[in-house]
Structure 1
Amino acid sequence: MRSGGEAPCEDDGSQEAAIPEESVIVISDDEGDVSIGLGNSVLLIEDDGEESFVREKKTLEVLDEELAITFSRKAHVMPHARYDCSTHPFSRIEQETQVPVEKNASFCDECYCYLCDKPASECSDWTTAGHCHCNAHNKSKHWKDQRDTALVGVLTMFDLDLTEIDNELKEGGNKLQLFLSELSPAYHKYLEGTLMKRDSVTPCVCTCHKDKKGNKTNNKCNNCNSNHTPVTFHNYAEVYKKVIAYLNQIDEDCPKAAAVMLLGAAKELVSHNPLPNPFTLKDRTANMRESCVILMTKIVRSLQRLLVLKEYPKTIYDKFVGFFQTFSLPPHFYSFTSSLNVIRWDHCLLTSVLAGQNLTGTRTNKGKKECLWEALTVVQCRVQRLEEEKSYRQLVRYLNAVRCSEHSSLNILKQKLCLYMCKYGDFSAAANCLLQTKGMQGSISQFFTPIFFELHLAMLRTRSCPPGNELKWTEVWEPQEGVALKRGLLLRTALRILICNNVLFHDSKCWSALVRVWCTSETLSRDGKLMALCVHEPDQVTLQAMMNMSCTILDELQRQTNVHLPEPFQKSLNGTAELVLIVQAIVRYLMTTKRPLRGMMELVAAFGMNHWALSLLLEGISPMTELLFQVMSSIKKEMYEDEPRVLALFINRGPNYVSHLIPVFLLHPREGVRSVGFDLVEILLRNITKFPWSGAVGNSLQTKVVPFIRTYMVSSVEHQKLMTNIGRLTSRS
């Protein structure tokens, strides 16, 4: 072979002279042939003269006809491990650390120490008894372990291959090593203990310290000597502080380093021995057992989060989990025995649940029943990751299948099931889960507040959700693809929730929420906002028929959920029949709820522009004089106690709303109801500068109220007062 940069030779006789001295000419088609090399770190071909060259060439030609050597010269010896030295023979022994074996202590200028990775002449332990690095070689398990320890330090405890150790793992190992060196003095101080007196913690109350007159003395009796005698106390508080400070500095954004640091700290805690104390200090961290349980809980939860939220290669993942399982846990750590048995995301049971192939979370494997049972921290982290990935369908399957020892906390996570189902457009299943949730005794609606009640109803009615993964009101909503609920199903579900939940039933805010939802459009605005809805007012005949049917439906809902809805409720496209049913349900609520009534002004405002429904409500309670008085009294009280809220309502909804609201009260035959209308007019007059459109309201009242005022008002004084107030409003136009 010619070196790459040389020109071809003219004849065979000039070939040797044409090859430069710097070239290394070695040709072999079998680089793995151990018969040519001496070891793992060096390959040598020596030139013993022309005769040797010819003899070697002939031998090689016999061995392999395709092998050709065109040039050879004495090799330049490169740096190599001592056991690969061609100058000084090396004797391999599995483990000898006391004296050099045979001529192993000899070395050439290029020999390197296998353990130290530096020239043998610079190795301080080359022939030191107990170390004897000159005997080290790569075929001995003992010396290989020693080399790995020297290269990666404390990482050797995790049984990691050198190819698996990257800079992140090395950084974690360095921090762990530093922590262990800093913790050692504090732990030794704990073991040594300090002298303390019991009365330094709890004052002695023995009567021997006082004379007959009650003055303090220094006398001591035999009963209280133990309080004043110094005893050795083992205080773990300093160790606890150092471990906590170390754990707080762990960065989980570097998952490999964090896992190494946490597992190393856990191994150190397991090795700590609890020592008895003569008495208990007020500081909980002084007690070793309690402190260690707190620390181990923090470590385990952090490790569980890392194993679920971060990505680890399978080999490293298994080694980390296996490392924790090798701990010989003392009695106060028995609760952590299986705490790190966190299954991987690609585990067959978990993947079958997420894929919808296993809805129960249980299976039989080799005759044994397996269940998807996970610690709360693991469940929370899986939920977090699935939320971040927007895998809502898989998230619902997981929450329905997983089991956890902390049932109450798991139920809190399940409270968002309806939100997740709406996120992927299964509104029918979302409505059903409000009444019956899998894995819970009852349903998620048993945890509802009025705000959550309204939020869920609004999501199902508008087929939209607030952005993000939290159940909270936002100004802009996101529409979701999916089949709309059948007409009447949502209202039937909402009423059943109120009937079954006594707390919600007697909360006026829930009824206001129910009215607001059905006075909201089923479609969002172009900018994603909820819009008000004006429901069509039925004629008197249809209205009376709907009211009669509503009473029957409400009676049935008291007994069962799946109530058949008559035809008007199934075909009422604009929701008229449903709003009539809601009004009838509110009348029943007002008849049975406790007194005094609260939140009546909010209920009035909930009807929005659907004033005919508000009139229907007032008509429904009018025959019950006492109830009507209670309702009107509540409305008037709330208007005077929170007048700014009434003003904000008028400003937000404008003159059209106010012009229709006031006549609902002024044209009522009952004087108590009309008095609310008078109060609303007076509020406008007191704050007339805030309403530039007050003149338009006056003109509207002039048209809607004045022509019929004689029909409803008996007192001329009342009539004159109203005419004067309307005139004052009209004058602003």
Structure 2
Amino acid sequence: MRPSKKEEEQNIILISDDEAESTLGSSVLLVDPLEKPALEEEKSEEVVDEECDLVVTFCKKANVMPHARYDCTMHPFERTECDRCSPLGKNADICDQCYCYICDKLASECENWTVPALCHCNAHNKSKFWKDQRDFALAGILVMFNLELADIDADLRHGGDLLLKFIQELSVEYNKYLAGEEMLHTQHECFCLPKLPPGQCDVCRSRSMEVVYKYSGVFTLVTRFLNQAEKENPKATAVMFLGAAKEIALHKDPAINWQNLGHTASLKIAVPCLLQRITTRLQRMLVLCDFPKSLHEKFVNFFQSISLPCHCFGFSNSLNVMPWDHVLLTTVLKGQNVTGQRTLRGRKVFLWEPLPVIEARMEKLVDKKKLRHLRDKIPFYLCKSGDFLDAAHSLLFPVNSLACCTACRLTPFEYEVYLKMFRTGSVPGGKDILDPGLWIAAGPPLKDGVLIKQALKLLYCNMSLYRNPKCWSTLIMILGSSNFLEKSGHLLPMSLKEPPLDFQKGVLAASCGLLKELKAKINVSLPPSIFSPQLHHEACLILAVQAIQQMVFCDLPYLTSFLEIALAFGNNFWALRLLLDHLSYEENVLHGTVNLILRDLHCQKATMLKLWQNLGPQYVGEFLCLFLTCRHQKMQSIGLFSLNIIAENLHMCPWAKHLCNFFHNAGLRHLPLGTAAHHEVSKFINIFENL
């Protein structure tokens, strides 16, 4: 294919993709496409490659970019593994763009380019020797930590410089220690012949001379260096402490016999003392300092590579500190594993950490708790800004694998406030979610489908909320209220008309799969055919009924109340009837639920009478009829018990006569309620008929 006229104005670079045939290594040659040839005559004749239909219209010399000496195209290069005695061949020849592989600067500026025993001109990237030389030149003493050049920042380099200076000073002091000091013992009686006065026999005097090796000078120098290291940034401190540990671990005691000179003068006492300080500090740093994971591992691996003497074997595994994201540690801190052990590949693994590590973790967790307290306010302030959808998501979003989401720490009251905000688009006027005050509009509320999903997700991720009847009553109350909120924070309840039976069955059929996916934290889409705009309130209420049923079936023993859940339905008795019918499928669940409600009624008689006074006889009548007309006699006992409370406290129920009229209009006396229920209802009606 012949290039177009426009394409002919650009230059073409032909690069071989076969590295084996290339002699340029990793060289890079670039061509300036804007540069034009000086004379038109310099264009070469047109060359056509018939196999690939490629036409080369002209060629020109490329601009040579900076490159390593071994990649130079102008001067040949000879490679050997580690020859540094003198320049090989023409390796010393350079062009203007040749760089020294070791110094990483222009070859013309390299001071060791042709220096015997160094000869940087022979360096290349295919030799391990020269690679190590380059790493040491660029990383300095940090090369012993096996750090990548990308890992080395200003803090690490500063720590490496201080460590190098310390090693030089330590070498001098350690040599003094190895030389020792000659100490003259107390003069002893001469046993030689002829016997001389004490102190005058050269033989006895020479025997009484002993070389003493005092480590005090080294101990003082190391201590001063560690004090200096503790004032540096964490990365520099870690490098300095690890480097000091390696150096003192190499120190040997030249004394043939044990010399008890004190804890600073005796090497076998002083070195463990210094290592104890070093490892304790490093243990805390590995917990408290947010080192990158790769740097954390390299610090630990470096300490593991130190060859410890026999008197320091106790420190061998002292830096095997679990990272915060370790599976066993994470499950223990989250309370998912209370034994501190797990089985890995058939072997039991235990969580055991030294006291400094545990103390450091406590400090970190306390700091995280303070930060977590601030982070937990983010959803509230998102609501204050009117961004209710992001607020709902942020409640469920964990910061990392160890941290829990804000929803895990919600109280029942906070759960109610958030649902109010999501439902109405209004927020409390204070600076904190717990501050009392007037409510103000902040933005558009969440749609019902989003609201029910987020509300259930909050319950499913917080077991204390999930088993709290207050939270379920809150959910029912919110779903049965309008999206208008009074400034005082009171919701306006709605009376929803009972939807068709087929609609109820359709929502119930779909709800099982939806709730299962919500528990699994799957992003659920509500079926538009069921959660239609016309009946979305009713559909959400039915979905909540199904969620309550599942909760009661699994966690009934944990419930402390059920009456408040029943009362939360308000005038939507059809939804409450739906719940009670489903709970009646299991005999043990039916008995447990009824016993809870009866206990609540017995303990809260005064509260119920006051509540019924406010709600009026119409509500009380429908409430009693709901239970009295149940097909299960056990459920009817709730209506009978409530009726007895009213009959025993007629002086507190001036509306009871209206309730009697409600029973007449409902034809309750003539319904087949059963012997006990029929007798009690008739007895109650007769009370007012005889007045």
TM-score band by shorter chain is 0.3 to 0.5
TM-score scaled by length of structure 2:
0.47
